[in-house]
Amino acid sequence: MQLTKPQTEIFISNARFVSVVAGRRFGKTFLSTGALLRAAVSGKNKNVWYVAPTYGSAKEIAWQMLIHTIPHEYISKTNESSLTLRLINGSVISLKGAEKPNNLRGRALDFVVLDEFADMRPEAWYEVIRPSLSDRKGGALFIGTPKGRNHFYDLWARAKMVQRIGSLFSIRLSMVATYRRKRLTLPVKT
C-alpha cells in the first residue's frame, strides 16, 4: 500500500498515542488499516483492534478495506460474522463498534485505532479501552473530523498544527492537504 505524503507523516510518528484531525475523504480509514496491519505484524500474537462509532460502520467500510489491503498470504483465518482476522503469526485484528462500551472489555490490547473518535462516547476510551492498553503498553491512533467542542477537540485544541507532547503526537491537517488528496482521487472532469 502506498500512503500519501500527509498520511506518511502521521504513519512514521513513533509516539505511543497519535491524534489526527483531518477532513472528509482524507484517507483516515485507509491510514488506519495500514496502522493496524503494521501493529499486527510487529510481533507474534498481537491483539489489535479497530473501533468505529458503530459495529455497522466498522463492517461496511473498514472490513472491506482490510480484506483488500492485507496480503492474502498473511491471513490464516477470516471470520466475517465476528469481524476478526487471524494472521499466520498468531496476531488477531478485531473490528468493534463503540456504541456499547461494555462490549469493548476484553483481554490486553497491543494497539487500537479509534476511527471517527469525535462520534464516540468518550467513556469508550477513558473507561474501557485505555485500561486494556496498560498491560502491554499498547498504542492508539485517534483519527477523525472535528465535530464542535467535544472530547476530541480537547485532545488537539491546544496543539499547534503538528505537535509532540510527551507520548502524544497530534496533527491537524489543513484543508490544503485534504484537497490535494481529493485531487488525486477525483476524475479530471469533476
Ligand X SMILES: Nc1ncnc2c1ncn2[C@@H]1O[C@H](COP(=O)(O)OP(=O)(O)OP(=O)(O)O)[C@@H](O)[C@H]1O
Return the amino acid letter for 43. Answer: G
Of the candidates 139, 137, 146, 119, the residue with the CA atom closest to the CA atom of residue 49: 139
Per-residue mark of binding to ligand X, 145-174 (x: CB under 6 A): ------------------------------
Task: Indicate whether 24 belongs to the interface with ligand X (CB under 6 A).
Answer: yes
64 binds ligand X (CB under 6 A): no
- Give how far the C-alpha of residue 47 lies from the chain's centroid of Cα atoms, to the nearest Å: 14
Give the binding-site size for Mg ion (rule: CB under 5 A). Answer: 2
Candidate segments 23-31, 101-109, 120-128, 162-170, binder of ligand X by CB under 6 A? 23-31
> How many residues of this chain interact with ligand X, rule: CB under 6 A?
12
Round to whole Å and give the CA distance between 37 and 9.
17
x/- contact string, 28-57, with ligand X (CB under 6 A)? xxx---------------------------
Nearest-5° Cα angle at 139, 49 to 120: 55
C-alpha cell at 58: 466498522
- Where along the sequence are the contacts to ligand X (CB under 6 A)? 2-4, 7, 24-30, 185
